Amino acid sequence: MPPDALTPNDPRVTHHFTTIPSTSITYHYLLANPPNVSQPAGTVLLLHGWPDLSLGWRYQIPLLLSLGLRVIVPDMLGYGLSSSPASTSEYSLKKMAGHMAHIIRHINPSSPVLLGTHDWGAFLGWRLAMYHPELIRGVFAFCIPYTPPDTKVSSLEEWVGEHRELGYQLQNARGDVERAVAGDRKRLRGWLRGMFGGLIEGEDGGRMGFDPWKGFDLQKLEEVGPSPLVSEEVMDFYVEEYSRNGLQGPMNWYRTREINLQDELPLAEEYATKQFEVPAMIVMVGHDPALPPELTDGMEKYFAKGLRKEVIPEASHWVLIHTPDEVNGLIGDFLKQFL
């Protein structure tokens, strides 16, 4: 039996908005307070990845509440009810780390938070811990290990040329998916179903619509069957949320490689050997061809207070919803040191 999960309109969370000072950017976030507790044991900030929403943490939020923790889960920039600026420069990790710092200070001004991350949320989370270390008590991340700032700026094309398993990123950055979906809800549903494991039907029992090496088979968007991981009720919610602003915002994250590398050049020498001063855990999975567990080799040298490394062999990239029992067990065990 799967663990308890939030529903799209779950009464255990309340919905809030905050505007980033000196900008027109507004974030929507979920806030959940533990029941029957006068003072939470701490606060957890959860950052989702692509293509997800704050509801992507639906199996973990009830667990964290049961541990007496307050939980903050924003829709990331470009997603859901948060702003979706057209300018790619607004999606730099440095700027968005500043946005997350504002949210932390706005909700939890007196003490640092625990940070949970997945996918692009993990890329951002490591940079949040790098740019604003005073705001973080500890980090648990899924699928994306920490890597220090690079000493040179390279293009996305050059990067994918060295890592062919990331070919889908070129499709995302070019705008192919945005043009193929083009506001059509049926094609949008097909794309979302396929991203969460749905198969293109009618071909030898079905085949994956998404291939990390190539991207999505955009000619088959209307032929993708239901996701094995996401119920149609939740998929209805995702389609509604993605219909609001389209796919440009989520895809803009893939257009920022050179912006991010340029921002980080001044830090490259310092962070080549610098260590984080908080406990951390990285969890990888056994069935993600683009992000194998060996990416964490040597990562422990960047963590002065220890790095816990785990692998869930049976899990796919969508580990938070694919193997929620195992995920929650690891999170609960890691958080014991803070409670």
Query: Which alpha helices (H) appear in 78-184, and where do they start and end?
Result: 93-107, 120-131, 156-162, 168-174, 176-181
From residue 96, alpha-carbon distances to 101, 103, 124, 174, 207 in Å are 8, 11, 7, 22, 36
Active-site pick, 28, 48, 99, 317: 317
Kind plus residue range of the DSSP H or E element containing 186: helix 185-195
φ, ψ for residue 324, nearest 5 deg: -65, -30
Active site residue 99: no
SS3 71: strand
Active site residue 119: yes
Active-site pick, 119, 263, 288, 322: 119
DSSP tally for the chain: helices H, then strands E: 13, 12
HSE, CB side, 13 Å, CA atoms: give it for residue 28.
15
List CB contacts of 195: < 8 A, sequence separation 6 or more. Answer: 51, 209, 210, 216
Q: Among all residues, which ones are annotated catalytic?
A: 119, 317
